[in-house]
């Protein structure tokens, strides 16, 4: 059987067929393009929204950072309405170590699934 991707058999799989190395820069032959896009979103979420909330020192910084975090998370929730993006998000989470940021991402995933179940 021939697969389109090196690490994923089907775009809707929530687990990798083979775990990619953490130091490997993935390309279109390795995983679906949607996963590459989700990885870019999560990197932006962490660097420009989550981490600033954690490192903010003044109330004004915290307020501004939380607004940005809420905006990016609202965008992520919209993206997760698409099953292919949601599957990519879940796959990525399977490779993450336990942390406060992972807990927050799992919370977003659960919110997305609950919203989809309600419709």
Residue 22 has a pLDDT of 84
Q: Which residue has the tokens 């989809």?
A: 116
Span 71-107, pLDDT tens digits = 999 999 999 999 999 999 999 999 999 999 999 999 9
Secondary structure string (H, E, C) spanning 60-92: HHHHHHHHHHHHHHHHHHHHCCCHHHHHHHHHH
Domain ranges of the chain: 33-118
Q: Tell me the mean pLDDT in the region 43-62.
A: 96
Q: Give the separation between CA 17 and CA 13, rounded to whole angstroms.
A: 9
Tell me the whole-structure pTM to 2 decimals. Answer: 0.91
On the question of pLDDT at 1 being above 60, the answer is no
Q: Work out the number of other CB atoms within 10 angstroms of the CB of residue 69.
A: 19
Averaged pLDDT score across all residues of the chain: 94
Q: Which two tokens stand for residue 17?
A: 């067929």
């Amino acid at each position: 059987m021939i697969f389109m991707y090196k690490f994923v058999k089907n775009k809707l799989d929530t687990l990798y067929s083979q775990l990619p190395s953490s130091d490997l820069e993935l390309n279109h032959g390795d995983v679906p393009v949607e996963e590459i896009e989700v990885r870019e979103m999560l990197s932006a979420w962490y660097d420009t929204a989550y981490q600033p909330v954690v490192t903010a020192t003044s109330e004004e910084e915290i307020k501004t950072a939380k607004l940005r975090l809420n905006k990016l998370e609202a965008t992520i929730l919209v993206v997760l309405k698409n099953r292919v993006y949601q599957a990519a998000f879940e796959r990525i989470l399977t490779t993450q170590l336990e942390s406060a940021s992972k807990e927050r991402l799992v919370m977003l995933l659960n919110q997305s699934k609950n919203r989809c179940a309600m419709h």
